[in-house]
């Protein structure tokens, strides 16, 4: 697993463009915030909305906003990386919430009456603020202690370092540019060429594989192949029907494996904390790094306030039952951790799976009303998405040494704007493309619109309609996953900590090869394995291919550095630059396709 390198202290290189406001002033923050929430955020919102309506998943706005934002902050020299990070933090919040318009699409498909726009905006605002607080609360665990790589956050850090520092730019521009160009062409080809669509080419997924390596990439393919092989068995026991894809049930098992593994990891973390509280273990030295300091009491207060606000808004404004709202808020604390780990390892935040599982769990408590399920599930969907963005942004900040407190403030500003434009983007796309109003869950295979699969909405409507037909096997699948994840992670922990095994791995090629096969195939990390349960087999294959390429390239002998060579951050490898470029290029392709589609529809209608 890639570890975060400590941001090295850097000497301010001086401001290149005199017309830019001085760093740290209110004019400086006003400039960055305006660019983030009014320019790059809406651009990312178009991208995220287009991808969610057409595909059912979206590339996070971090990479796109970081790439474009660094063009402005280039005038601040090497220290401009922090300004660009602030821009992408706020812009990504706008873009991430914009993708949540699929909730309104689900209401349309199910024929539900839509609440007034202001009520939906207020509800999403409260949920977003809760997600931001929970995300910040978990940062010390996921980013600092577990040191998860967060592939897109990793890519953003490399892009910002390269584009704001002329020395690093000269070394990195060819590799970064190659990745962006390939990602752009691949994204357009995947959308326009039937052959590319058939093989489900995803340059962002390939890029994520390049960032994480084979030990994380291959397990996803193993999971995909496992699900494919088990289709006949799942059909025989009634968990699938003829023609169903494996992931229709595998995503429940996959989410369960993350939860099972998280039980082990969280138990260890809480045990260590208890040891320190009781004086049985020395407390770790307090970090003196100013950028990392956060007032924990304020974070707890923030979380408590917005948790109450979500319940009050949902009950008094939208008329939803308090009990299910409270249950949904409690689930946020579980899934923000579980999904955060998944995103940190595989770049996949299974937010739709969190929604589905929350509805399945509420059904077990007696829920029968789809409208209540949608509104309560929205708490999970939006908050876990925002919390994942928070962790990804903090992982970028950890590599750059950016102030966490300031990043939090920028994210909050983005959430305010995002809650407003989310409803606007949903109505804009459904007005521009009336086909989005058609309920695909009642269409035959030949009637499905080719360019608008809306897979996330499809999943939501399917599980909400199942409330009147409870499926106990769905809960069984989750528990099967929990058992597998718990057992595998426990076995991995015991084996990896065994002194004899450690000596064997370090003994030579045989030990290394054995450890690799165990990590990648025989006893893979449940967090890495789970990605293959959330996506189609072809997608997990692209992820694995990227991982294999990355590990193969990085294992080649490297030339020894010579006197006068540029010193680059330890984690800024060639494969990470190309991988980050692929993710950025795919985001640019989605942005171009989304804008072109909207403009074409508007002009044709005029």
Q: For residue range 110-139, what is the model confidence (pLDDT) as tens digits?
A: 888 888 989 999 999 999 999 999 999 888
Q: How many CB atoms lie within 10 A of CB 96?
A: 33
The Cα-based distances of 471 to 86, 235, 258, 290, 373 in angstroms read 45, 15, 22, 51, 15
Q: How many CB atoms lie within 10 A of CB 260?
A: 24
Q: How many CB atoms lie within 10 A of CB 401?
A: 18
Please classify residue 471 by burial: count the beta carbons closer than 10 Å to its beta carbon, then call 0-12 exposed, 13-18 middle and 19+ buried. middle
Contacts of 463 (CB under 8 A, 6+ apart): 355, 356, 359, 360, 373
Confidence band for 596, pLDDT divided at 50, 70 and 90: confident
Range list of β-strands (E), 205-353 = none
Query: Residue 555 — φ and ψ, nearest 5°?
Result: -90, -10
Select the more confidently predicted residue: 403 or 312.
312
Rounded to whole angstroms, how far apart are CA atoms 418 and 426? 12
Q: How many CB atoms lie within 10 A of CB 199?
A: 12
Nearest by Cα to 418 from 121, 107, 50: 121
Select the more confidently predicted residue: 321 or 294.
321
How much is the pLDDT for 509?
86
3-state secondary structure 463-526: HHHHHHCCCHHHHHHHHHHHHHHHHHHHHHHHHHCCHHHHHHHCCCHHHHHHHHHHHHHHCCCH
% of the chain surpassing 70 pLDDT: 81
Rounded to whole angstroms, how far apart are CA atoms 320 and 112? 14
Assigned token pair, 287: 């970090």
Assigned token pair, 154: 């990793």
Average pLDDT over residues 316-328: 94
Q: Is the pLDDT of residue 312 over 90?
A: yes
Confidence band for 338, pLDDT divided at 50, 70 and 90: confident
Rounded to whole angstroms, how far apart are CA atoms 57 and 158? 24
Average pLDDT over residues 513-520: 90
Q: Give the chain's mean pLDDT.
A: 80
How much is the pLDDT for 441?
66
Rounded to whole angstroms, how far apart are CA atoms 160 and 83? 10
Query: Residue 428 — φ and ψ, nearest 5°?
Result: -65, -50
Rounded to whole angstroms, how far apart are CA atoms 148 and 348? 13
Contacts of 354 (CB under 8 A, 6+ apart): 255, 331, 335, 338, 339, 380, 381, 384
Quick: pLDDT tens for 152-208. 777 777 777 776 666 666 666 677 778 878 888 887 777 677 777 667 777 877 887
Q: Is the pLDDT of residue 564 over 60?
A: no
Please classify residue 555 by burial: count the beta carbons closer than 10 Å to its beta carbon, then call 0-12 exposed, 13-18 middle and 19+ buried. exposed
Rounded to whole angstroms, how far apart are CA atoms 123 and 569? 42
- Kind plus residue range of the DSSP H or E element containing 349: none
Quick: pLDDT tens for 497-506. 888 998 998 8
| DSSP conformation class of 438 | S
Q: Is the pLDDT of residue 52 over 80?
A: no
Assigned token pair, 489: 């992670």
Using alpha carbons only, give the angle 405, 411, 415 rounded to the nearest 5 degrees: 145
Q: Is the pLDDT of residue 1 over 50?
A: no
Q: pTM of the predicted model, to two decimals?
A: 0.77
């Amino acid at each position: 697993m890639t570890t975060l390198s400590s941001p090295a202290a850097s000497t301010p290189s001086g401001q290149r463009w005199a017309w830019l406001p001085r760093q740290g002033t209110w004019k400086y923050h006003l400039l960055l915030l305006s660019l983030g929430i009014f320019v790059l955020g809406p651009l990312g919102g178009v991208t995220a909305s287009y991808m969610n309506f057409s595909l059912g998943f979206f590339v996070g706005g971090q990479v796109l906003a970081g790439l474009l934002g660094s063009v402005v902050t280039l005038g601040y020299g090497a220290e401009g990386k922090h300004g660009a990070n602030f821009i992408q933090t706020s812009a990504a919040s706008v873009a991430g919430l914009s993708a949540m318009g699929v909730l309104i699409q689900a209401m349309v498909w199910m024929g539900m009456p839509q609440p007034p726009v202001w009520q939906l905006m207020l509800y999403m605002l409260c949920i977003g603020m809760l997600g931001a607080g929970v995300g910040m609360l978990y940062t010390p665990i996921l980013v600092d202690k577990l040191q998860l790589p967060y592939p897109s956050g990793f890519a953003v850090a490399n892009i910002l370092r390269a584009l704001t520092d002329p020395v690093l730019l000269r070394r990195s521009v060819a590799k970064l540019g190659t990745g962006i160009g390939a990602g752009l062409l691949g994204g357009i080809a995947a959308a326009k060429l039937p052959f590319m669509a058939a093989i489900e080419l995803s340059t962002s997924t390939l890029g994520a594989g390049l960032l994480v390596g084979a030990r994380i990439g291959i397990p996803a393919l193993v999971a995909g192949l496992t699900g494919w092989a088990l289709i006949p068995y799942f059909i025989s026991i009634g968990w699938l029907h003829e023609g169903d894809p494996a992931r229709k049930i595998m995503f429940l098992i996959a989410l369960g494996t993350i939860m099972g593994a998280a039980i082990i990891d969280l138990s260890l973390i809480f045990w260590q904390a208890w040891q320190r509280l009781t004086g049985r273990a020395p407390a770790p030295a307090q970090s003196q790094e100013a950028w990392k300091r956060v007032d924990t009491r304020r974070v707890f207060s923030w979380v408590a306030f917005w948790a109450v606000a979500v319940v009050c808004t949902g009950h008094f404004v939208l008329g939803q039952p308090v009990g299910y709202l409270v249950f949904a808020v409690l689930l946020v604390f579980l899934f923000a951790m579980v999904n955060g780990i998944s995103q940190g390892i595989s770049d996949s935040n299974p937010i739709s799976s969190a929604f589905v599982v929350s509805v399945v769990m509420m059904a077990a408590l007696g829920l029968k009303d789809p409208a209540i399920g949608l509104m309560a599930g929205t708490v999970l969907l939006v908050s876990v998405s925002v919390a994942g963005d928070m962790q990804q942004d903090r992982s970028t900040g950890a590599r750059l040494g950016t102030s966490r407190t300031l990043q939090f403030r920028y994210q909050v500003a983005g959430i305010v704007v995002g809650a407003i434009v989310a409803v606007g983007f949903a109505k804009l796309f459904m007005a521009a493309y009336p086909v989005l109003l058609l309920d695909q869950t009642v269409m035959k295979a030949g009637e499905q619109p080719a360019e608008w699969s809306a897979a996330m909405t499809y999943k939501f409507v399917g599980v909400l309609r199942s409330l009147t037909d409870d499926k106990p096997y769905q809960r069984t699948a989750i528990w099967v996953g929990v058992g597998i994840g718990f057992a595998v992670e426990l076995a991995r922990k015991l084996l990896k900590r065994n002194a004899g095994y450690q000596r064997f791995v370090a003994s030579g090629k045989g030990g290394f090869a054995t450890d690799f096969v165990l990590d990648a195939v025989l006893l893979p990390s449940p967090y890495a394995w789970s990605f293959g349960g959330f996506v189609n087999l072809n997608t997990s294959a692209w992820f694995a291919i990227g991982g294999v390429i990355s590990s193969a390239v990085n294992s080649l002998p490297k030339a020894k550095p010579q006197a006068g060579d540029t010193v680059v951050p330890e984690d800024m490898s060639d494969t990470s630059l190309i991988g980050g470029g692929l993710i950025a290029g795919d985001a640019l392709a989605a942005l171009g396709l989304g804008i072109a589609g909207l403009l074409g529809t508007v002009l044709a209608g005029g």
